[in-house]
Amino acid sequence: GAVVSQHPSWVICKSGTSVKIECRSLDFQATTMFWYRQFPKQSLMLMATSNEGSKATYEQGVEKDKFLINHASLTLSTLTVTSAHPEDSSFYICSATSGDSNTEAFFGQGTRLTVV
Amino acid sequence: AQSVTQPDIHITVSEGASLELRCNYSYGATPYLFWYVQSPGQGLQLLLKYFSGDTLVQGIKGFEAEFKRSQSSFNLRKPSVHWSDAAEYFCAVGGSGTYKYIFGTGTRLKVLA
């Protein structure tokens, strides 16, 4: 299957700072990428959908000014958590698709963010 | 409303015993169904998927799942569980042309030696 890589795998940042998470499709062009958030022992909740070259579409209740998403190329989307606070600590997972209806979206390995 | 229900939050089985994890969905179009496994602190690994065709699908690690449209279910089964199967299992639904998946709340599997 196709490979999606996230970087970093884990990050610790101080409260008030910003942190950027990268999601890369390594062997296919990802027309669309998705960002999910997973709180401890909970399910994955979709945060936003990003299409290459256009603004991301955020799910209801997700602050677009806090979670900045950029999808500048067909192989890279970034999620920047701005002015992070301890309640932003979570596991963030991206998925990517080439738009081929015969395949599923492919998930990255996730990024563990801890805000102290 | 679109949703996925995994009624069992925790399941404990003995090694070598059979396993069935339940999943029910509500989806307004033809569903694409998935089962993922997640080990602690790790990402998601796809076990199997159903898009169309044969309603009994085989996956990796000896898992299988059966799509029952009349019951809106996609239960995951394994005839003999191994200790390494202990993990969190997520059922998810999507649709043709949409890759936004709705996940269930997960079932945590514990395997007794």
Mean pLDDT score of chain B? 94
**Contacts made by residues B75-79, CB under 8 angstroms, sequence distance 24+:** B75/B20, B75/B21, B75/B22, B75/B23, B76/B19, B76/B20, B76/B21, B76/B23, B76/B35, B76/B47, B76/B48, B77/B18, B77/B19, B77/B20, B77/B21, B78/B18, B78/B19, B79/B18
For residue B67, the SS3 value is strand
- Chain B residues near residue A1 by CB distance under 8 angstroms: 46
| A13: pLDDT strictly greater than 70 | yes
B33: nearest CA partner in chain A: A104
Q: Residue B17 pLDDT more than 90?
A: yes
Write out pLDDT tens, residues B40-82: 888 899 999 999 999 999 999 999 999 999 999 999 999 999 9
Q: Cα distance from A16 to chain B (closest Cα, Å)?
A: 25
B103 inside 8 A of chain A by CB: yes
Pairwise pLDDT comparison (A78 vs A52), residue with the higher score: A78
DSSP code at position A52: T
Question: Is the bond into A8 cis (omega within 30 degrees of 0)?
Answer: yes
For A14-72, write each residue's pLDDT tens digit.
Answer: 999 999 999 999 999 998 999 999 988 888 999 999 988 889 999 999 999 999 999 98
CA dihedral A6, B10, B54, A4 (to 10 degrees): 0
Q: Distance between CA B60 and CA A84 in Å, rounded? A: 38
Kindly determine whether residue B100 and residue A112, on different chains, have CB atoms separated by under 8 Å.
Answer: no
* Gap from A105 CA to chain B (nearest CA, Å): 6
Alpha helix positions (H), chain A: none
**Total residues found in chain B within this entry:** 113
Contact A23, A96 (CB under 8 A): yes
Confidence at residue B81, expressed as pLDDT on a 0 to 100 scale: 98
* A-chain residues near B46 (CB < 8 A): 1, 104, 107
Say yes or no to pLDDT of A102 above 80. Answer: no
Residue-level pLDDT at A1: 67
What's the confidence (pLDDT) of residue A54? 87
| Residues B95 and B102: beta-carbon distance below 8 Å | no
